[in-house]
Amino acid sequence: MKKLLLATALLALGTGLAAAQTVRLGTEGAYPPYNFINDQGEVDGFERKLGDELCKRAALTCEWTTNEWDSIIPNLQSGNYDVIIAGMSITDERDEVINFSENYIPPAASAYLALTPDVDVKTAVVSAQVSTIQAGYVAESGATLLEFATPDETVAAVRNGEADAVFADKDYLAPIAAESNGELVLLAEEVQLGGGVGLGLRESDTELKAKFDAAIQAMKADGTLNALIKEYFGEAAVTF
Amino acid sequence: MFASCADPSTLDGLNWLACYLTTGKHLDFYWSFATVLLLLVITAPLALGMGFLGAIASRSPVLPLRWLGRAYTAMVRGVPDIVFFLFFVIALDQGLEWLLHQVVCPDWDQPIRQGTEFRVCPQAKIPSGNADAFWYQVDGFVRAVITFALVFGAFAANVIYGAMQAVPRAQLETAEAYGMSNRQVFRRVLVPQMWVYALPGLSNLWVILIKATPLLFLLGVQDIVYWARELGGSKTSAYEYPHPDWRLWYFLALLVFYLLATWASERALGRLTARLSRGQATAAGEAMRKAGI
């Protein structure tokens, strides 16, 4: 009898734990305004707000963690966290190894940032962050690709003359150009890449994907997602 | 931190700097120095212990034990630190989770390896999926300590092995002539005398260990190099304290920290050497005897 009671208690405890399983959200923390570590040392930005809201709507307990961009997919697969929420564009190559949720940012423009507006991006030295769609695009464009581990280093390379231009999401580069006192300018040429930004999940986590998909659809339907996009990327941002 | 820092955009000059240097993020940066020092304090004795065991095993009259000791030093010494760090940590992590999985989830029917995914049951995760961020930091730290102890233990084993061989045979023979057993000779004569020969090698290792601490970042521990890079990068007004690229200053601070740490170590080790040489059958010990120190 005692054993039976103990077993039931353990079972109850076990299922209780399983129900309250924390979902760990992994982000890069170096890509404002998408995601960054704020001055209090916490994850902040568009994706912080979005992620918290999605977890609330899906009734999940979520916890934030940061990981280097370069190893963000392998560490998802080895189970260090359950969701990638790091401004990751949906591409076919990535879709082969992980699952993407519905996109929460529509396909947006990538842009070049340079010291002068007359850089020829087909022949110049162009910096981009490693393992991004932008890096892939530059490699095929004929320009010389210079890769860096963090977004900040790609911009620093232009400032100190190592690269002629940096290629990244326009939403990341626009505030940098605006606050550089005219030192850096966005080039007129813009490129549409990828299928928008989505959450990255393990292929085996179909249940979790369904929950997040439903939450994203709900946010699209009631207009809160568009409002959030405008809050962080400006009134001119592409919305759903 | 201070009440006057509530609105950074209104501050300027020194006030701004004072507030900037006391943000939550900077406090994390300062704590990471303590993390690095703690790592050194824990790892050094562990590595020394590993080295001691490795050296004893390498000298053992039992053949398999000798093989084990030699294989350990040869393997770890022969692989670049950074490769070892990248490989071993993943192997350790997955190995432990796999073992735990076998124990706590015997009737789990799904495969653990699904393509490139590594999936154990939720109860077997280390640390458990419900643990808060602090435990993930502790987990990373412990893995760092184990890896550092293993790597530096192998180097220490070789140093200590050499030092044990360097103790003059006459000293051991004298002890044997007094009727001491092998164990007594080892404990009373060999080990006390070996340190003075091992110290130059060990002090090198200690300094290399200090300088190897930036590898912590590879293990997911947010160490001083991580924070210096993160804080130094240029900041737009998405942050409360926007500033241009200040990585130079942050890395300069790290440079000073490492120089101070190694300089203090040099001094401490110098004293230790002098102390250990006293009364030893070495040239340094002989010189001290003649000088009457």
- The CATH number covering residue B46 comes to 1.10.3720.10
Which distant-in-sequence residues (6+ apart) come within 8 Å of B127 by Cβ?
B135, B136, B138, B139
β-bridge pairing A109-114 and A99-105: unpaired
* A residues 51-90 closer than 8 Å to B (CB): 63-65, 67, 74, 77-80
Q: Which domain holds residue A66?
A: 19-107+195-233
Q: Determine the distance in angstroms separating the CA of B69 from the nearest CA of chain A, rounded to an integer.
A: 32
**What CA–CA distance (Å, rounded) separates B138 from B88?**
18
When scoring B9, B116, B219, B227 by the number of chain A Cβ atoms within 10 A, the one with the most, hence best to mutate, is B116
Structure token pair of residue B174: 């004298």
| A85 falls within a domain | yes
- CB atoms near residue A102 (< 10 Å): 16
* A76, A116, A177, A198 from A183: Cα distances, Å: 38, 8, 8, 33
In a domain, residue A76? The reply is yes
pLDDT digits (tens, 9 = 90+) for B7-49: 888 888 888 999 999 999 999 999 999 999 999 999 999 999 9
Q: pLDDT tens digit string along B252-284? A: 999 999 999 999 999 999 999 888 888 887 888
Neighbour tally for A157: CB within 10 Å: 21
A212 in Cβ contact with A199 (< 8 Å): yes
Name the packing angle between helices B247-277 and B283-291 (round to 10°).
Answer: 70
Q: CB–CB of B25 and A41 under 8 A? A: yes
Spatial neighbors of B39 by CB under 8 A, at least 6 apart, are B141, B144, B145, B148, B213, B216
In CATH, what number is assigned to the domain containing residue A42?
Answer: 3.40.190.10
DSSP code per residue over B225-260? HHHHHHHHS-B-TTSSS-B---HHHHHHHHHHHHHH
Closest CA to A85 of A52, A40, A134, A60: A52
Structure tokens at B4: 């006057």
Based on the structure, what is the number of domains in chain A?
A: 2
Interface of B with A (CB under 8 A): 8, 23-25, 27-28, 90, 93-94, 97, 110, 114-120, 122-123, 125, 129-130, 132-133, 136, 220, 229-230, 233-234, 236-242, 245, 247
Percent with pLDDT over 90 in chain B = 60
Query: What's the pLDDT band for A20 if we cut at 50, 70, 90?
Result: low
* One domain for residues A102 and A199: yes
Assigned domain for A3 exists: no
Alpha-carbon span B36 to B32, nearest angstrom: 6
In B, which residues are within 8 Å of A38 by CB distance? 25, 239-240
Could you say which of B230, B234, B238 has the minimum Cβ distance to residue A155?
B234
**Is there a single domain that holds both residue A43 and residue A142?**
no
Is residue B162 in a domain?
yes
Q: Does B40 fall in a domain?
A: yes
In a domain, A9, yes or no: no
Total of domains in chain B = 1
Q: Specify burial of residue A131 (Cβ count, 10 A radius: 0-12, 13-18, 19+).
A: middle
Sign of the Cα torsion A188, A191, A196, A199 reads negative
Q: Which of A19-23, A68-72, A84-88, B20-24 has the lowest mean pLDDT?
A: A19-23
pLDDT band at A3 (very low <50, low <70, confident <90, very high): low
Q: Do A118 and A183 have their domain in common? A: yes
Is the same domain home to A129 and A168?
yes
Q: Is the ipTM of this complex over 0.95?
A: no
pLDDT of the residue at A13: 45
In B19-151, the DSSP E strands lie at 113-114, 117-118
| Minimum-distance CB partner of B130 among A22, A36, A40 | A22
- Do A49 and A84 have their domain in common? yes
Question: Is A29 within the bounds of a domain?
Answer: yes
Q: Are residues A206 and A188 in the same domain?
A: no
Residue B23: which domain range?
17-235+242-291
Residue A102 C-alpha, separation from nearest chain B C-alpha, in angstroms: 21
Is the Cβ–Cβ distance between B221 and B212 less than 8 Å?
Answer: no
- Each residue of B39-98: pLDDT tens digit? 999 999 999 999 999 999 999 999 999 999 999 999 998 988 888 888 888 888 888 889
Q: What's the pLDDT score for residue B12? A: 81
- Give SS3 for B4: helix
**Predicted confidence band of residue B109 (pLDDT cuts 50, 70, 90):** confident
Q: How many CB pairs under 8 A join A and B?
A: 97
Q: Indicate whether A101 and A145 sit together in one domain.
A: no
For residues A165 and A177, membership in a common domain is answered with yes
- A112-142 pLDDT, tens digit each: 999 999 999 999 999 999 999 999 999 999 8
CA A70 to chain centre: 12
Both A103 and A114 in one domain: the answer is no
Asked if residue B151 belongs to a domain, the reply is yes
Q: Taking Cα atoms as reference points, which of A102, A107, A79, A84 lies closest to residue A204?
A: A79
Q: Are residues A64 and A99 in the same domain?
A: yes
Is residue A222 pLDDT above 90, yes or no?
yes
The answer on A151 and A114 residing in a single domain is yes
Answer yes or no: do A204 and A229 share one domain.
yes
Would residue B9 count as lying in a domain? no
Q: Do the domain assignments include residue B258?
A: yes
Strand order across the beta sheet in which A165-169 lies? A144-148, A125-129, A165-169, A109-114, A185-192
Compute how many other C-beta atoms are within 10 angstroms of the C-beta atom of residue A49: 13
Q: Which residue has the higher pLDDT, A86 or B119?
A: A86
Per-residue confidence at B222, pLDDT binned at 50, 70, 90? confident
Please indicate, yes or no, if residue A62 is contained in any of the structural domains.
yes
pLDDT band at residue B121 under the 50/70/90 scheme: confident
Tell me, yes or no, whether B279 lies in a domain: yes
What is the spatial distance between Cα B46 and Cα B152, in angstroms, rounded to a whole number? 9
Answer whether B117 sits within 8 Å of A30, measured CB to CB: no
